[in-house]
């Protein structure tokens, strides 16, 4: 049994190891967290706990500091991001206002302000979903079509934020919107034209929805290739977030910002263990160990 599965989050939290990570690794580096659709109750508790340990700043502030070549961030800087732009994010606005903290929401721009549903919420089978992420984009779309799913179909229920909600959130001054492509494909599996469209048009669409420049991009599923980074630069983004594990400093490539995925529903000790990067760090370590065992025939 692995080290991780033997211990639960509370044990890890009480062990003080996440504290050491925070104290030595996160003090002068920027930690970026990724949520999706937390409930307002959980988000309130999560932000309360994070605020005690970190200084929550906006992605814009981090990039402004980096671009000005003048590091003026508080200690333990942390950025909160939410991917996809779920309609339920609107209910988080009172929590943001209560705590006066900024967040970045990455929108699937062709889904926002429509009743379209993302492909991954249509597919319930986890194995099937995983497989669809490994095939070419056209094979994924054909397979989904065969299953009865069409990207542009308008459903009765709305899952993603609409324009009113987006504008309202933005007017609070606490929410900035970035792009998360149009339809959430796996970019490295797209041909050049589709990748360009997903990256470039989603920027334009996000700007139409918000009336503000769309500065940032989030790679769906955290997957990207060199070409996708090139296309992001060409489209005029200033930075892009990945799901590569780690923290960020001012000299890091702004188009490969590292991010830590945190749960939308968990205990606060689990959230803090994950936000410290400790969990992801050990997952990578265990994975590497397994790989080297495999390679050495063990
Ligand atoms: Zn996503």
For the stretch 35-64, pLDDT in tens is 999 999 999 999 999 999 999 999 999 999
Predicted confidence band at 20 (pLDDT cuts at 50, 70, 90)?
Answer: confident
Predicted confidence band at 230 (pLDDT cuts at 50, 70, 90)?
Answer: very high
Distance from Cα 79 to the centre of ligand 1, integer Å: 17
pLDDT, residue 279, reads: 75
**Cα(262)–Cα(271) distance, integer angstroms:** 6
Q: Confirm if 21 and 278 have CB atoms less than 8 A apart.
A: yes
Q: Confirm if 183 and 109 have CB atoms less than 8 A apart.
A: no
For the stretch 234-272, pLDDT in tens is 999 999 999 998 999 988 999 999 999 999 998 998 899
Predicted confidence band at 297 (pLDDT cuts at 50, 70, 90)?
Answer: very low
| CATH 3.40.50.300 matches 3-116+154-295 | no
What residues does each domain of the chain span?
3-116+154-295
**Cα(126)–Cα(263) distance, integer angstroms:** 17
Predicted confidence band at 275 (pLDDT cuts at 50, 70, 90)?
Answer: confident
Instruction: Give the chain's mean pLDDT.
Output: 91
**153 Cβ contact partners less than 8 Å away, ≥ 6 residues apart:** 116, 117
Ion ligand 1: residue ranges with CB closer than 5 A: 83-84, 220
Nearest to 260 by CA among 248, 277, 285: 277
Distance from Cα 252 to the centre of ligand 1, integer Å: 23
Distance from Cα 220 to the centre of ligand 1, integer Å: 5
Q: Mean per-residue pLDDT for 192-215?
A: 98
Distance from Cα 89 to the centre of ligand 1, integer Å: 14
Beta bridge partners of 14: none
Distance from Cα 84 to the centre of ligand 1, integer Å: 5
């Amino acid at each position: 049994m692995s080290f991780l599965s033997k211990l639960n989050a509370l044990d890890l939290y009480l062990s003080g190891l996440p504290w050491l990570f925070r104290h030595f690794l996160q003090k002068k580096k920027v930690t970026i967290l990724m949520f999706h659709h937390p409930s307002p109750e959980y988000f309130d508790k999560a932000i309360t706990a994070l605020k005690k340990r970190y200084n929550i700043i906006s992605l814009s502030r981090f990039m402004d500091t980096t671009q000005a070549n003048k590091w003026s961030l508080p200690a333990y800087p942390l950025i909160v991001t939410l991917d996809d732009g779920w309609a339920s994010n609107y209910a988080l606005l009172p929590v943001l206002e209560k705590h006066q903290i900024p967040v970045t929401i990455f929108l699937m721009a062709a889904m926002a302000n429509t009743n379209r549903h993302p492909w991954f919420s249509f597919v319930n089978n986890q194995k099937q979903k995983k497989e669809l992420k490994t095939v070419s984009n056209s094979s994924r779309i054909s397979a989904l079509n065969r299953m009865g799913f069409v990207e542009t179909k308008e459903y009765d229920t709305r899952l993603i934020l609409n324009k009113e909600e987006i504008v309202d959130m933005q007017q609070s001054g606490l929410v900035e919107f970035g792009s998360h492509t149009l339809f959430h494909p796996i970019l490295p599996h797209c041909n050049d034209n589709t990748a360009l469209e997903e990256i470039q048009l989603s920027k334009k669409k996000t700007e139409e929805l918000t009336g503000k420049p769309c500065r940032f991009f989030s790679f769906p599923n955290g997957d990207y290739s060199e070409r996708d980074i090139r296309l992001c630069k060409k489209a005029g983004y200033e930075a892009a977030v990945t799901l590569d594990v780690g923290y960020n400093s001012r000299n890091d490539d702004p188009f490969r910002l590292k991010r830590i995925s945190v749960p939308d529903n968990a205990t606060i000790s689990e959230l803090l263990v994950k936000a410290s990067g400790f969990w992801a760090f050990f997952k990578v370590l265990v994975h590497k160990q397994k790989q080297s065992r495999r390679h050495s025939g063990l």
